[in-house]
Amino acid sequence: MANTATALRAPTVAPIRPASARTALVKRTFRDARVRTIAFAYVFAIYSWLQPAGYRKTYPTLADRIAFAHSFAGNDAIRLFYGYPYDVMTVGGYAAWRVGGTLALAAAIFGVLAAVRALRAEEEAGRTELVLAGAVSRRTAFRSAMAAIGTGTALLWLAAFLGFVVGRLPVAGSAYLALAIVAVIPPFVGIGAVMCQLAPTRRGALALSIGAVMVFWLLRVVADTWGSGAWLRWATPLGWAEELGPFTGTHAVPLLLFVAATVPLLWAAERIGATRDVGAGIFAEHDTAPPRLGLLGSPSAQALRTERGTLASWLLGVSVFAAIFGMIATSISAAGISENLQKQVAKLGTGSIFTPIGYLSFVFIVFILAVCLFVCGQVAAARTAESDQQLETLLAHPVSRTRWLAGRYVIALLGAAVLSLLAGLLTWAGAASQGVHISLPRMLEAGANCLPVAILFLGIAGLAYAVVPRASAAISYVLVTASFLWYIVGALLGLPRWLVDATPFVHVGLVPVQAFRTTDAIVMAAAGLVAAGASLAVFRRRDLLGS
């Protein structure tokens, strides 16, 4: 009987220790975000190395640097993008201005993306509920997510630090400048975490978080461009990063502001998250609403209805930047620009950009990049509809897969066309308002110049979605970003032409300075359409996959 009782006794299961659970959650959260983290680390490392190295080569003498400070760094319009130039006559001061101003904004975006992905996206996917069903408290889950984001932040610091060191900046100064950049991440993680508690959906949390980033960026812009508004720099974490003064006079006091802002935000997010229902938010969704049947007549119309907020955001962003680029064209001049710098820029195949028209031609590289990212985002939205099981419900009706995905492609193409032409129109309007005489048809042609590369990347993103849906967004975004950076870096480093030609950005004729490259445009558009057609054939046969 004793043996029988022993045989029937349930096996003993070792309890899960809290420390083991935390470690497992941290590892999983970090692993889930590895593609985004590696992509940001790549950008941080390359940009941190390229800028000081390029400055040292382009401005080898003190006279060159003084001329640069007076003609380029002293331009108020340039401060919109890089911040206030405290000391650009040294390599370290220049790096703190150009790299610090740019990567601090990138760090803020990384912070909110990481928080929304680790918190709200996990809830929408149902994984948080499964984790909490075990021996894991909400506090443990929240703190594990924050620890994983902290690990990613440390990786970004290391990437920036190594970039500066390879660019031959002093080790101590490089470490401090990298710290000034990544110090922006924690308060924006806190903002993203709070927004995840307020908004009932990932889309809503992300919209609120990005809106907060834009508000703080605008505060920094006003502080850096309006003499009487310098005090506003203390109202934004992006301004605190400037006040840390890497390579221009170290001021460590602002580090206390980052701590003072981050701790209450994370505390509030943890407390709210411990009391609300999983999957809900403080701003509750309405269970009932008057019927709105607009744009529900077809799958394509329904997709347009779903993406109308995203389209509006892109239209607003492109409009604002196009007008700004146009209006600051008159401030671009070759006066005081070293001959060496002009030769370096000429390697990009753009001719001189230090004239208003040359500058306007060159900035369309930025719009080409933006439109390519837009079409990749539309394909990512299609993947979201599938992972959230919306597509499965839609296909239960008499709707074919091919028609649905082709409709998504049409929306992406129409959106890209509107963005491109709007960029051309408003850039022309901004330049014309400042007295720059340039042809409107040529600027519209410059806008249309964005489309061939966008069609190419739309096809590539669509093919990735059809073949490897779960990794498709990462693949498309990384390919666009890497191609753009290869265009910039490869040309400036003087690599063999056949290597530089590997990126499609090289094959764009920058109108109006250059002629529209019809043959290259046709080849890129045709390749994109072929890839899109192949994606339709593959997608028609594969299984639908959840998150």
Taking residues 56-76, what's their average pLDDT?
72
**pTM summary value:** 0.71
Q: What is the pLDDT of residues 278-314, one digit of tens each?
A: 777 776 665 565 766 666 677 778 788 888 888 888 8
Tokens of residue 474, six digits:
């990462």
Q: What is the pLDDT of residues 387-440, one digit of tens each?
A: 878 888 887 778 888 888 999 999 999 999 999 999 999 999 988 888 888 889
Residue showing tokens 């820029």 = 345
Taking residues 31-58, what's their average pLDDT?
87
* Least-confidence region, from 71-80, 182-191, 215-224: 71-80
Taken in order 293, 294, 300, 306, the sign of the CA dihedral is negative
272 burial type by CB count under 10 A (0-12 exposed, 13-18 middle, 19+ buried): middle
**Average confidence score pLDDT of the chain:** 83
* Least-confidence region, from 87-96, 337-346, 459-468: 337-346
Q: What is the pLDDT of residues 494-525, one digit of tens each?
A: 666 677 778 888 888 888 888 888 999 999 99
**Confidence at 482, pLDDT banded by 50, 70, 90:** confident
Q: Which residues contact 227 (CB under 8 A, 6 or more apart)?
A: none
Q: Which of 3-12, 17-26, 69-78 has the highest mean pLDDT?
A: 17-26
Q: What is the pLDDT of residues 210-219, one digit of tens each?
A: 889 988 988 8
Taken in order 291, 293, 299, 301, the sign of the CA dihedral is negative
pLDDT number for residue 457: 96
Residue 342: pLDDT above 80? no
pLDDT number for residue 493: 61
pLDDT number for residue 332: 64
pLDDT number for residue 289: 57
pLDDT number for residue 163: 93
Torsions phi, psi for 305 (to 5 deg)? -65, -40
Tokens of residue 171, six digits:
């080790």
Cis peptide preceding 200, ω within 30 of 0: no
